[in-house]
């Protein structure tokens, strides 16, 4: 069974509600990757009036080439009758259904009964994370033939526990014809394999995929898209060398090894040095899930206005700080009627906590000008208060120039990234060096903060 996300596509076929699979409709299923829309439009004389439960019921179908499809979390958006109502058999029902999940390869009549223990995932940027290739070749001058092969790369184990194992595996994929060498290519495929100790449901899977997707995005300084999920996969074979393909030299085009030029934050070497790295990431994610969602969905969303992005980042920052145990969440009141009592810390104190903890890193983006750093912190607090509580901007010490949101947003992203690096096990000395590889931090080096108004 496969769950595909990589591109837009449509299927023609026959469809039925799981609550009433005696009635089938002709229809077209459309998946639009850009609009993130799954829409089924079907028509026929069947009964469509039965209720469908959004959480459990499904729509099942057969495509014209015989593939089984299941739609989950469905809503009947519209229904109408067309044709001559005076002629009973010339009237057709047209039904539009939306869903949030497509499963290809099986029929599932109740979402709560879908279980699995093994899956594989394909991501668009996973090759950038692996940064290894097993593809090699050799030329035999006597026969005039070029031999290509793929040496197996050792699995990259991210997590190995009784309840879940996560590993990145590589394999060779041949595209084109083995007869016509000019139309053939040998490609290395990287996939992430999940193996659960017990059978799990879709909600558990969604949480684990979110954790992994955010980890890869954070590591690569670039949002990583999940392209395909395959359930009940066949295990990869463990032979040292895959099949060997013979090609005529004249038809072989050599491509140089292409590695990304952008800096990555976390790589395979870090995982090899610290086998618990992803385990710590996963623990951190599940303990601060809301903050992670707010952070990553904001950092890589270009549709937000600058002020909207700022307020979302501040909410993520506050949530993350609040859930980080080594930061104090209370302060003792020093004077007044409530002297000696505890109070919640202020936003300014949260920002100062993080700036102090990573002072060697933060101070260098302000050229070690503490007064300027304090001014920007006050500006951030005032802008957040204005955006949360509303009112005239003249009443607050806040950002007045919209262009000033660019460096301020980069600063908030940098502070959150530094906290994450520390929480997943990197020592202070390592974080100081790694900070240069945080895109938002790197953008701030040499910036003239006097432009922030």
Q: Say yes or no to pLDDT of 343 above 80.
A: yes
Residues 365/358, Cβ–Cβ less than 8 Å = no
Q: Say yes or no to pLDDT of 398 above 80.
A: yes
Considering only 225-234, 311-320, 382-391, which range has the smallest mean pLDDT?
225-234
The runs of H, that is alpha helices, within 171-276 are: 202-220, 268-273
- Neighbouring residues of 185: CB distance < 8 A, sequence distance ≥ 6: 174, 175, 176
pLDDT band at 31 (very low <50, low <70, confident <90, very high): confident
pLDDT value of residue 175: 62
pLDDT value of residue 46: 63
Give me the phi and psi of 175, to 5 degrees please.
-120, 135
Q: Say yes or no to pLDDT of 255 above 50.
A: no
The residue ranking higher by pLDDT, 342 or 51, is 342
CA 375 to the chain's CA centroid: 35
Mean pLDDT of 400-429: 94
Residue 190 zone, left/alpha/beta (φ > 0; ψ -120 to 50; rest): beta
3-state secondary structure of 378: helix
Task: Please give the mean pLDDT across all residues of the chain.
Answer: 81
Mean pLDDT of 145-171: 86
Closest CA to 217 of 123, 310, 320: 123
Q: What is the rounded distance in angstroms from the CA atom of residue 398 to the CA atom of residue 403?
A: 13
Mean pLDDT of 116-135: 84
Mean pLDDT of 311-321: 95
Q: What is the rounded distance in angstroms from the CA atom of residue 143 to the CA atom of residue 248?
A: 9
pLDDT value of residue 62: 93
% of the chain with per-residue pLDDT over 70 = 85
pLDDT band at 86 (very low <50, low <70, confident <90, very high): low
The residue ranking higher by pLDDT, 438 or 233, is 438
Q: Say yes or no to pLDDT of 362 above 70.
A: yes
Mean pLDDT is highest, among 107-111, 139-143, 446-450, for 446-450
Q: What is the rounded distance in angstroms from the CA atom of residue 430 to the CA atom of residue 425?
A: 10
3-state secondary structure of 274: coil
Residues 38/70, Cβ–Cβ less than 8 Å = no
Q: Say yes or no to pLDDT of 424 above 80.
A: yes
pLDDT value of residue 235: 38
Q: Say yes or no to pLDDT of 411 above 80.
A: yes
pLDDT value of residue 90: 58
pLDDT value of residue 7: 66
pLDDT tens-digit series, residues 186-201: 778 889 999 988 777 7
- Neighbouring residues of 277: CB distance < 8 A, sequence distance ≥ 6: 158, 266, 270, 271, 424, 425
Q: Say yes or no to pLDDT of 50 above 50.
A: yes
The residue ranking higher by pLDDT, 320 or 48, is 320
Q: Say yes or no to pLDDT of 126 above 90.
A: no
Q: Under CATH, which architecture does the 2-110 domain have? A: Beta Barrel (2.40)
pLDDT value of residue 259: 30
pLDDT value of residue 370: 94
Mean pLDDT of 39-60: 77
* pTM (two decimals): 0.78
pLDDT value of residue 84: 58
Q: Say yes or no to pLDDT of 414 above 90.
A: yes
pLDDT value of residue 6: 54
In whole angstroms, how large is the CA radius of gyration of the chain? 27
Residues 93/81, Cβ–Cβ less than 8 Å = yes
End-to-end CA distance of the chain: 54
Would you list the domain boundaries of the chain? Answer: 2-110, 115-271, 288-451
Q: Say yes or no to pLDDT of 96 above 70.
A: yes
Residue 36 zone, left/alpha/beta (φ > 0; ψ -120 to 50; rest): left
Q: What is the rounded distance in angstroms from the CA atom of residue 320 to the CA atom of residue 64?
A: 49
Give me the phi and psi of 255, to 5 degrees please.
-115, 135
The residue ranking higher by pLDDT, 141 or 400, is 400
Q: What is the rounded distance in angstroms from the CA atom of residue 318 to the CA atom of residue 150?
A: 48
Query: What are the Cα distances from residue 318, in Å, to 149, 222, 292, 312, 333?
Result: 51, 23, 11, 10, 21
Mean pLDDT of 200-218: 86
- Neighbouring residues of 246: CB distance < 8 A, sequence distance ≥ 6: 145, 147
Q: Say yes or no to pLDDT of 252 above 50.
A: no
Considering only 303-317, 325-339, 364-378, which range has the smallest mean pLDDT?
325-339
Mean pLDDT is highest, among 46-55, 113-122, 251-260, for 113-122
Q: Say yes or no to pLDDT of 180 above 60.
A: no
pLDDT band at 261 (very low <50, low <70, confident <90, very high): very low
Q: Say yes or no to pLDDT of 3 above 70.
A: no
Q: Say yes or no to pLDDT of 218 above 50.
A: yes
């Amino acid at each position: 069974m496969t769950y595909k996300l990589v591109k837009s596509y449509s299927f023609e076929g026959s469809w039925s509600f799981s609550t009433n699979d005696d009635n089938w409709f002709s229809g077209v299923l459309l998946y639009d990757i850009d609009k993130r829309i799954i829409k089924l439009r079907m028509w026929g004389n069947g009964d469509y009036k039965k209720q469908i439960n959004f959480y459990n019921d499904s729509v099942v179908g057969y495509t014209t080439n015989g593939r089984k499809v299941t739609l989950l979390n469905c809503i009947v958006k519209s229904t109408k009758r067309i044709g001559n109502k005076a002629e009973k058999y010339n009237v057709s029902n047209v039904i539009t259904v939306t869903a949030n999940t497509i499963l290809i390869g099986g029929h599932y009549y109740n979402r709560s009964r879908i279980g699995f223990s093994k899956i594989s995932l394909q991501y668009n940027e996973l090759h950038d994370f692996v940064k290894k290739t097993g593809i090699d070749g050799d030329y035999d001058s006597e026969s005039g033939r070029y031999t290509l092969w793929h040496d197996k790369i050792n699995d990259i184990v991210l997590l190995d526990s009784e309840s879940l194992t996560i590993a990145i595996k590589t394999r060779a994929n041949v595209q084109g014809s083995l007869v016509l060498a000019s139309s053939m290519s040998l490609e290395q495929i990287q996939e992430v394999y999940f193996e659960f100790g017990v059978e799990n449901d879709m909600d558990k899977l969604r949480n684990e995929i979110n954790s992994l997707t955010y980890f890869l995005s954070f590591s690569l300084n670039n949002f990583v898209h999940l392209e395909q999920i395959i359930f009940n996969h066949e295990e990869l074979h463990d032979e040292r060398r895959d099949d060997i393909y013979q090609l005529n030299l004249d038809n072989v085009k050599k491509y140089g090894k292409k590695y990304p030029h952008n800096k990555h934050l976390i790589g395979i070497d870090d995982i090899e040095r610290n086998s618990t790295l992803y385990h710590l990431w996963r623990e951190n994610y599940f303990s601060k899930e809301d903050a992670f969602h707010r952070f990553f969905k904001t950092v890589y969303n270009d549709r937000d206005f600058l002020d909207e992005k700022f307020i979302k980042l501040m909410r993520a920052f506050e949530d993350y700080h609040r859930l980080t145990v080594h930061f104090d969440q209370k302060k003792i009141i020093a004077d007044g009627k409530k002297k000696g009592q505890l109070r919640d810390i202020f936003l300014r104190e949260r920002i100062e906590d993080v700036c102090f903890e990573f002072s060697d890193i933060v101070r260098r983006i302000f050229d070690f000008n503490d007064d300027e750093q304090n001014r920007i912190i006050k500006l951030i607090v005032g802008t957040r208060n204005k955006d949360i509580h509303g009112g005239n901007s003249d009443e607050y010490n806040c950002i007045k120039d919209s262009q000033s949101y660019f460096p301020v947003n980069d600063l908030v992203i940098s502070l959150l990234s530094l906290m994450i690096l520390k929480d997943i096990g990197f020592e202070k000395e390592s974080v100081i060096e790694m900070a240069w590889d945080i895109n938002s931090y790197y953008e701030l080096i040499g910036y003239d903060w006097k432009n922030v108004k």
